[in-house]
Structure 1
């Protein structure tokens, strides 16, 4: 699956839908593997830790918050072994226009809280 193709756009919409749904239900994180499995159930074969997954997650966050004013959906996706987002999430959260402050713990904790709050009524 290549970025910019119809298949990629359809997978991106599925990622956004899955993550919005989780955010509405209290913003419980999901592992890369579980997200990959859920995408596969919907007909999108995206390996958990390679290929297009990092691009899909970044694009999901950018599409939902292009100006940085809304919480980043990709905060919900975590590594199974650690229960934490990958370094790619923290890089995205700290670059313009997002520029989230704080150390990793504070940054991520705030983002999860903001996701739950923002999507609670959506």
Structure 2
């Protein structure tokens, strides 16, 4: 059903999902035991050029540049059946958007930002 390379890609994808799920579980466990004071301190930290929410938005948009390389893979797109590519792209953007957003929130929740 799947080619050999497709099986490898699926295995790598699931490995990443499982790794992030385990990381998320540990972060949530840590936050339940230690509270969200670090997150609140980081959220209200004064920044140059805007708020921390703006910084997260800019970081999120920069991380999306990595997704754009997938769109330009012409050999891969040419081999797909008609209508498959938009579905693949939508699903990939959904997963990447959720994981990148959670990763940024987890980082803000775990690590204090030093004042320079």
- Compare CA radii of gyration and give the structure with the larger one: 2
User: Which structure is higher in helix share?
Assistant: 2
* Same fold at TM > 0.5: no
Query: What is the TM-score with the length of structure 2 in the denominator?
Result: 0.26
RCO (CA 8 Å, sep 6+): is it higher in 1 or 2? 2
